[in-house]
Structure 1
């Protein structure tokens, strides 16, 4: 009897260095009469709600489908709830005996996977899940006593000592003749994807797997050696810009690590600095897997009942980049325009919302979840709890970012501000960080009338800083 395996594609949209794909290929190659196929499940939670985060992912998915076509590989689609979709798959493909996929430890995804595993096992389908999106699973980096870390620095020291896997070879062309041809109706499922794509807004360029590899090559050769000195500069291309490729799985962490291996062996501080940031992904994955309340509840119990303010007008001004603080507004407008924000910018924007506007961090976390094309539920929630001083190993509540000082340090010439806040493009360096200090004549001279062309700040940072500290101290 012919055995058939399915490779469930998820956030791993690539045909190279894919752990589950590698393992499925090995399984197929072990017996001549084994067959295989690729499948993607379209979750209504995503295709029924349009936002830049979903737009970007589905555009990557469609690009991946075409890449599969170019290799004469059929990518099949399912839709509906996960357990129903895979039950239907087994009914339509009774010869299905094995399901391969790369695991996801984020709580919501893990619950979905557990349900699918249960349904499949009840129908005599063997399931095989593999670590792929991260270097290490949530339970791999442990203290000497066997416990898990709650502070990043010692976690990273232990993480750095663990061996990192090499890329996994994937050559589906070698087993193309064993690809199963299924009687699996596709019109209804694919129509969900095509309908979504036809109705979304912005179109992103450079979403192919090869684009991710080209960006990696540019980063390694031109940026990584000086990354430790350039990664906080808002106005220059001093970051990797690899996060969106990691999010969709166009690149694997193993491929990135291998590309940096020579610089790491030489002890290059830029490469080391970047690898330490990759470790944050593993760290927050560990935190989220073991603390499933991360997205919705403060990890520090003492801060679970803080009297956050809710001011809808201020929240909208923050979202729109109309706070009157140029650096905050530039960060938010960058997010709204291109679906991405510099990591330094994310910290500035998050600190401002929680410590200057005193608005609940969950409001910001949800907005970023919709707008970021590289949105990762664990890293995003972890980052927001860090900025709000409510999470594990978070910034102390009494360390409040000054938006002016951050602006002067990380955009000293104001180039980043002028790019995203064009109302200020004629304002000189002296006032670019604090335009409210211009007098009326200067405002006219530089073509920026406050309250008309650009808003005046509606809060005083010094005053709000004191309020934030008092709120955390319970005064």
Structure 2
């Protein structure tokens, strides 16, 4: 008797370990693993160039784990999945759930169509510790502030699912390959602007496991103290691995708890709360689907953003004349990543010092970040702008000079990404415009020639922002 064929639809779960959909499909019989590049997603939601670079390598890594059996397609999953069910005479389809609004709508349509055709469809949670529909306030309402959401909602709820091992054996269905080559998806850039990514990252499940192990052995021990210092590797660097599902938050959660299971470990609590912020971002996106495009706080609909293409271009290229801002934007371009503290600094500078719409920053990050995540990107930008849930108050404007002096005291981070400032003394590295002429001459820096003059006066622009935001709050 022929064993039943089961399709496993991989999406944001490009791993073998702790993959509930894969395990359930393997338990049910022979499998055909499938990945579909969905071309029907709105242009604004298609992965950016950096994320596509990562996806290309992650798919190759997954295919290797699957012994070359991954079948890859491009098109509309609404059409392709039913066609594959027919082509392979599949009895069931398994997938892990996505939580972006467009994905929810798409998956609902597909599930209904497949069930109507007599196909069994099973979906699972593989990417969140707590699904957004499961966390509610006592009165049934939705949390809009992070701390009560995480401390009262999540930590008082059912403990996160314990991770499962990889299937002991995988029985691949004896079917012909009708898919595409991964290279034919054209995910890699035509110009080799991503060449330096290879020096910093190892996409794939093995790379994710290695990064988690390195974090536990090193930075996790002093996370609370080191996470704000951009010149040291004080954070986990797991965000792109989590986004593409090469590792699950459950694996990270329990690995950290097992490694640092001591009472009152502030480093552990601090890191786990960052995982909680990721959960909160998805929670907000699920309950407020317009989060990436609309102000969470409708008062900001009256705000008059400045149309400043020159300022935006200087910001995006790391040419603002504000060293820590420029260093952050250059790190982004060179590595596909930016330190989290610096993300807040460059975001505040764009939105508050330049008064440029947060959505423009969100779109730039979406295209340039390897870890570009629909939920986290939108929630974080709205937080910085002051328009989001649990947002920074409008009067909280990061002073990039003070931030640099506090978190990059010797200017190591700035000098790495702005090497033209390498000889500026620590006292002036974050404000070279205040350095005496003899020091600038010694450093070989001529403002306006080999390093920009500040494109905006920080004090005056801060007051301009305060006035503009105060006016908005009064409407």
**Does structure 1 retain, via aligned residues, the 8 Å contact 2:48–2:368?**
no
What is the deviation of 1:458? 1.7
Secondary structure of the equivalent of 2:236? coil
Query: What aligned pairs does 1:66-465 form with structure 2 within 5 A after superposition?
Result: 66-69=64-67, 74-93=69-88, 95-158=89-152, 159-162=154-157, 163-171=159-167, 173-176=168-171, 179-187=172-180, 190=182, 192-193=184-185, 195-197=186-188, 199=190, 201=192, 202-203=194-195, 204=198, 205-262=201-258, 263-465=260-462
Which runs of 5 or more residues in structure 1 are unaligned?
Answer: 29-33
**Does structure 1 retain, via aligned residues, the 8 Å contact 2:204–2:246?**
yes
The match for 2:10 is 9
Residue 57 of structure 2, aligned match among 47, 59, 65? 59
What is the deviation of 1:416? 0.2
Q: Distance in 1 between matches of 2:54 and 2:269?
A: 30
Q: Deviations over 1:124-154 (max 9, x none)?
A: 2221111111101112222222222110011
Secondary structure of the equivalent of 1:127? strand
Q: Deviations over 1:336-357 (max 9, x none)?
A: 1000011101101110000001
Flag as ranges the 4+ runs of structure 1 deviating above 4 A.
45-50
What is the deviation of 1:459? 0.8
Secondary structure of the equivalent of 2:52? helix
TM-score normalized by structure 1? 0.93
Secondary structure of the equivalent of 1:7? strand
Q: Distance in 2 between matches of 1:180 and 1:56?
A: 28
TM-score normalized by structure 2? 0.93
Q: Distance in 2 between matches of 1:191 and 1:174?
A: 28
Q: Distance in 2 between matches of 1:270 and 1:59?
A: 32
Q: Distance in 2 between matches of 1:415 and 1:458?
A: 23
**Does structure 1 retain, via aligned residues, the 8 Å contact 2:40–2:75?**
no
Secondary structure of the equivalent of 2:164? coil
Q: Deviations over 1:414-465 (max 9, x none)?
A: 0000000011011110110100112333221111110001000021111111
Which runs of 5 or more residues in structure 2 are unaligned?
Answer: none
Q: Distance in 1 between matches of 2:170 and 2:11?
A: 21
Q: Structure 1 residues 45, 346: CA separation in 2 closer, same or farther (over 3 Å shift)? A: farther
Secondary structure of the equivalent of 1:60? helix
